[in-house]
């Protein structure tokens, strides 16, 4: 443990900070994020002071601070660089760049430099897969990293130049919209959807929503109208609207583009929802990786308040009060799970709740709450304006409308592609210039690994459901390495609450590592299947249910990826036993026969 530095005025600063957040325990995560912005980490004195002001037991404050991976309880350096570690970043050479960076600054990955100036580590996908390798520097995204950029960054750090004055080109994030359809084609006039909701009435909009057959765009595909009606029919003093912008599924980045381009449409969808459900309060849960969008989004909210599209008496309608608060995440994939998100909004660890009851009945502060994906709200706004029939004209019967895909990996033109539902994988691969495609991970690690023999399958809820990730692997790519990356991802992101997932993801990671390291056997494959079955059936939430997906898909569809790595049919140790004695041989200077193992 490092000595915590002397921070003479910390008491007053924390007191002011807590006051600014109304000393509300549900604002705890936001308070902690602010503390980290001030001190670059969360000093122990801050935990004690926050606990006193909210008031909460200190252990709860520390428990929350310890849960989110962007929050650091120990000094992490004046400059903290987190290399995005999605499989696409790997394919673009992020490990080599990390080595280069660490060599240049005399760093060890995961440790802060001795002068406490800088630290470097890996983090889960930062949502820049179409312009990677990417990293976060003190929370700000840098894209298209290469040797020159790494040298430049290292020099800037050595010169102790403040991040705010670094060349803006480093932080350039492109939208890369390559194909548009229904949603992105249509221009949207702020206020038009709310106007439609007010003039036509809630019932008419519900009818349009039903007619549109809109299903949730987060991947699970629950019927939006049904969810909203359940929420409306649950008697309660208050209802809440939550927009899920915790786009954590590796390989997904379309919500980043939607919020950058179509924030008005998204907010408008939420406001239409508020009108239909008589909700007065909404949240946008923005993942920590997209913190850089916060100021822009706040500006848009402010503009909408001025235009009478948020606040009290929206569009002059007496009693139509609704406002949106942006809540920042801090690096926890599990908060994308709707009940984990609600826990996080209430200021706690993002541990999923038991479902049922579903949030539509018991959600935020135990009140009926609609949680929908960014894209779903944008669709809802468009449906309010153009009608359900217009929306349902494209796509398939089960999957109406269009889907925005985040395409990355081995292709010429990675980026955002909007297609009507029902489009085939083959067509997408042709459009984005994929050469010799071999496999596609549809829907990220928790989705489906599609092999070249299945490219006729279609993007739709009835065939290949997806929240948008579409990661392409060309012939020659090591599928086992990709699956290993995903297994590590799940082990890192498991919230640790239930044993099947906490232990299962670790065991799965170990066995996949064992195979990749050349110690695997046929019995390990059986163990992976058995483990996968346990995790799917016994885990508490979707993370554990989905964690075995890439592994089981590989076992079934890509025998070539692991078969040649297996050593025997029976069993092999997970490690080289003789090598594990090497340290003791060196210490004792022994080399006799009993100092070795066959």
Partner 1 sequence: MADEKRKIRIATCSLAGCFGCHTSMLDIDERLFDLLEMVEFDRTPFTDIKHCGPCDIGIVEGGVSNAENAHVLKEFRENCKVLVAIGSCAITGNVPALRNNIDLWDCFQEVYLYDPGTEGKQIPNDPELPLPFDKVYPIYEVVKVDYFLHGCPPPANAIWKFLTDLIQGRQPETGHELLRYD
Interface residues with partner 1 (CB under 8 A) are: 523, 570-571, 573-575, 577, 580-590, 592, 594-595, 597
What's the closest the beta carbon of residue 491 comes to partner 1, in angstroms?
16
Phi, psi of 301 (to 5 degrees): -60, -45
Three-state secondary structure of 27-51? HHHHHHHHHHHHHCCCCHHHHHHHH
Type and span of the H or E element at 327: strand 323-328
Nearest-angstrom CA–CA distance, 41 and 37 = 8
- Strand 323-328 and strand 281-286: pairing? parallel
Whether the CB-CB separation of 181 and 394 falls below 8 Å is answered with: yes
Quickly tell me which residue has 């349902």 as its tokens.
392
Which of 280, 595 has the CB closer to partner 1?
595
Which of 235, 589 has the CB closer to partner 1?
589
Which of 347, 500 has the CB closer to partner 1?
500
What's the first-to-final CA gap in the chain, in angstroms? 40
Which of 110, 167 has the CB closer to partner 1?
110
What's the closest the beta carbon of residue 498 comes to partner 1, in angstroms?
15
Which of 6, 592 has the CB closer to partner 1?
592
Beta bridge partners of 417: 179, 405
Nearest-angstrom CA–CA distance, 142 and 120 = 14
What's the closest the beta carbon of residue 589 comes to partner 1, in angstroms?
6
What's the closest the beta carbon of residue 517 comes to partner 1, in angstroms?
12
What's the closest the beta carbon of residue 572 comes to partner 1, in angstroms?
9
What's the closest the beta carbon of residue 554 comes to partner 1, in angstroms?
22
Three-state secondary structure of 458-508? EECCCCECCCCEEEEEECCCCHHHHHHHHHHHHHHHCCCCCHHHHHHHHHH
Which of 397, 571 has the CB closer to partner 1?
571
Nearest-angstrom CA–CA distance, 596 and 576 = 11
Whether the CB-CB separation of 344 and 29 falls below 8 Å is answered with: yes
Nearest-angstrom CA–CA distance, 488 and 484 = 6
Nearest-angstrom CA–CA distance, 226 and 213 = 10
Which of 302, 577 has the CB closer to partner 1?
577
Whether the CB-CB separation of 242 and 285 falls below 8 Å is answered with: yes
What's the closest the beta carbon of residue 485 comes to partner 1, in angstroms?
22
Which of 564, 594 has the CB closer to partner 1?
594
Whether the CB-CB separation of 299 and 256 falls below 8 Å is answered with: no
Which of 354, 583 has the CB closer to partner 1?
583
Nearest-angstrom CA–CA distance, 552 and 550 = 6
Nearest-angstrom CA–CA distance, 522 and 563 = 9
What's the closest the beta carbon of residue 512 comes to partner 1, in angstroms?
14
What's the closest the beta carbon of residue 1 comes to partner 1, in angstroms?
14
Which of 326, 574 has the CB closer to partner 1?
574
What's the closest the beta carbon of residue 521 comes to partner 1, in angstroms?
8
- Strand 369-373 and strand 135-137: pairing? unpaired
Nearest-angstrom CA–CA distance, 257 and 241 = 21
DSSP label of 590: -
- Strand 79-84 and strand 118-123: pairing? parallel
Which of 281, 514 has the CB closer to partner 1?
514
Residue 47 CB coordination number (10 Å): 22
What's the closest the beta carbon of residue 495 comes to partner 1, in angstroms?
20
What's the closest the beta carbon of residue 582 comes to partner 1, in angstroms?
8
């Amino acid at each position: 443990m490092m000595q915590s530095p002397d921070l003479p005025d910390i008491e007053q600063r924390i007191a002011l900070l807590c006051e600014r957040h109304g000393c509300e325990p549900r604002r705890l995560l936001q308070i902690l994020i602010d503390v980290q912005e001030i001190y670059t980490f969360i000093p122990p004195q801050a935990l004690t002071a926050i606990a006193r002001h909210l008031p909460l037991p200190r252990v709860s404050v520390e428990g929350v601070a310890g849960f989110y991976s962007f929050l650091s309880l120990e000094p992490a350096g004046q400059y903290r660089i987190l290399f995005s570690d999605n499989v696409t970043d790997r394919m673009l050479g992020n490990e080599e760049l990390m080595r280069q960076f660490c060599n240049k600054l005399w760093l060890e990955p995961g440790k802060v430099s001795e002068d406490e100036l800088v630290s470097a580590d890996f983090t889960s996908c930062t949502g820049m897969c179409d312009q990677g390798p990417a990293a976060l520097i003190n929370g700000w995204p840098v894209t298209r990293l290469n040797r020159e950029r790494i040298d430049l960054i290292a020099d800037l750090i050595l010169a102790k130049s403040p991040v705010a004055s670094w060349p803006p080109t480093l932080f350039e994030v492109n939208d890369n919209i390559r194909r548009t359809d229904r949603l992105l084609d249509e221009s949207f006039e702020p206020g038009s959807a709310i106007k439609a909701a007010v003039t036509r009435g809630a019932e008419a909009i519900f009818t349009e929503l039903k007619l549109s057959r809109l299903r949730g765009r987060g991947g699970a595909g629950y019927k939006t109208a049904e969810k909203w009606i359940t929420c409306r029919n649950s008697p309660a003093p208050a209802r809440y609207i939550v927009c899920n912008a915790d786009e954590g599924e590796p390989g997904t980045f379309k919500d980043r583009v939607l919020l950058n381009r179509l924030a008005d449409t998204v907010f408008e969808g939420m406001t239409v929802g508020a009108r239909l459900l008589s909700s007065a309060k909404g949240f946008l849960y923005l993942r920590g990786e997209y913190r850089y969008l916060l100021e822009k989004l706040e500006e848009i909210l402010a503009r909408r308040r001025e235009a009478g599209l948020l606040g009290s008496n929206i569009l002059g309608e007496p009693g139509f009060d609704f406002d949106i608060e942006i809540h920042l995440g801090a690096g926890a994939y599990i908060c994308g799970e709707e009940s984990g998100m609600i826990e996080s909004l209430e200021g706690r660890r993002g541990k999923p709740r038991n479902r049922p009851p579903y949030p539509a009945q018991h959600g935020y502060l135990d009140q009926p709450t609609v949680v929908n994906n960014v894209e779903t709200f944008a669709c809802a706004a468009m449906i309010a304006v153009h009608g359900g029939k217009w929306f349902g004209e494209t796509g398939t019967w089960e999957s109406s409308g269009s889907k925005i895909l985040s395409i990355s990996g081995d292709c010429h033109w990675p980026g955002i592609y909007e297609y009507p539902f029902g489009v085939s994988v083959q067509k997408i691969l042709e459009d984005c210039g994929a050469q010799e495609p071999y496999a596609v991970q549809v829907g990220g690690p928790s989705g489906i690994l599609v092999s070249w023999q299945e490219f006729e399958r279609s993007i739709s809820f009835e065939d290949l459901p997806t929240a948008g990730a579409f990661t392409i692997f060309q012939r020659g790519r090591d599928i086992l390495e990709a699956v290993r990356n995903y297994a590590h991802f799940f082990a890192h992101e498991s919230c640790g609450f239930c044993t099947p997932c906490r232990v299962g993801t670790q065991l799965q990671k170990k066995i996949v590592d064992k195979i990749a390291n050349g110690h695997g056997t046929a019995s390990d494959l059986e163990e992976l299947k058995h483990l996968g079955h346990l995790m799917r059936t016994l885990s508490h939430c979707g993370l554990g249910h989905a964690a075995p997906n890439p592994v089981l898909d590989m076992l079934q569809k890509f025998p070539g990826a692991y078969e040649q790595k297996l050593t025997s049919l029976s069993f092999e140790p997970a490690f080289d036993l003789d090598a594990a004695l090497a340290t003791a041989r060196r210490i004792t200077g022994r080399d006799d026969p009993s100092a070795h193992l066959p």
